[in-house]
Amino acid sequence: MGIKQVADRIVNGVLLKPLGLKLGYRIGGDPVEDIARLMSERPVEVIADGGAYMGTFSQAMAGAFPLAAIHAFEPTPASHELLATNTAVLSRVHRHRLALGGQKGIATFYSNAPPLTNSLRRSSDIGHLYFSDLVAGETEVQVEVVTLEDFARERGITSFDVVKLDLQGNERDALLGMGDLLGHTQAALIEVQFVPLYEGAPLFSDIEALLREKGLVLYQLYELVRSPNDGRLLYGDALFMCPDVLTRSTSRPKA
């Protein structure tokens, strides 16, 4: 047994076990599994999937919460068609060829060869530095932008229980576009940047501060990506939860 394994046993067995804690080195896991577990005793009626792309998150949420209405937003024609194909058999998934933002209107959308990097924001100099091949050949299209507040009002939606935003730097605008609805959200899975990969993109600290102000706290980080060249942490996903959900989950008797 190596030194690290011995140290782990001492820390876990002597220091942390009496507290019901365990030392772990793996960052994140599966955010869908975490949301499903934490929300297992809560009613989940409406879910928003912003930047749905091919519908992976919407499909997973449909499996975890079969009674929930899922609104998937994807503005580009090719990606929206892929989303429609992959979720065609899921009657609770409602697809919208719309972008999410802080105000309603028509905006320029910047498309790249890999659609995962498409955004309402241009790639920044840092974005070009770390992802030169992915953001080369950027083209522009016009898309319709809505706020979740307006969208909900027009459809009689009173809250989004779970919100996922993967908007390549436009997440803060979309969160602000929720208005008072943000304060009623119980779980928010947000792609966050640790360096501004898009022009004017918010950093993790900006997203965390906004959600903390609205009453949500950081639960876990997932899929952290760092540069293979200099090791710099670039982006990842962050799950924020309503504190009451976490309190109930922590106090729940263990099997």
What is the distance between the alpha carbons of residues 13 and 26, in angstroms, rounded to a whole number?
18
The string of pLDDT tens digits covering residues 59-116 is: 999 999 999 999 999 999 889 999 999 999 999 999 999 999 999 999 999 988 778 8
Average the pLDDT over 3-15 and give the result: 45
What is the distance between the alpha carbons of residues 169 and 130, in angstroms, rounded to a whole number?
15
Its pTM stands at 0.87
Average the pLDDT over 115-124 and give the result: 88
Pairing of strands 162-165, 105-111: unpaired
Higher pLDDT, 136 or 231: 231
Exposed (0-12), middle (13-18) or buried (19+): which is 178, by Cβ within 10 Å?
buried
The string of pLDDT tens digits covering residues 175-227 is: 999 999 999 999 999 999 999 999 999 999 999 999 999 999 999 999 999 99
Q: What is the pLDDT of residue 11?
A: 41
Is a pLDDT exceeding 80 seen at residue 5? no
Question: Is 89:137 a contact under the CB 8 Å cutoff?
Answer: no
Contacts of 175 (CB under 8 A, 6+ apart): 165, 182, 188, 190, 207, 210, 211
The string of pLDDT tens digits covering residues 128-173 is: 898 887 777 678 999 999 999 999 999 999 999 999 999 999 999 9
The string of pLDDT tens digits covering residues 23-54 is: 444 556 899 999 999 999 899 999 999 999 99
What is the per-residue DSSP string for 173-215? HHHHTTGGGGGG-SEEEEEEESS--BTTPPPHHHHHHHHHHTT
Element holding 249 (H helix, E strand): helix 243-251
Q: What is the pLDDT of residue 21?
A: 46
What is the distance between the alpha carbons of residues 59 and 51, in angstroms, rounded to a whole number?
14
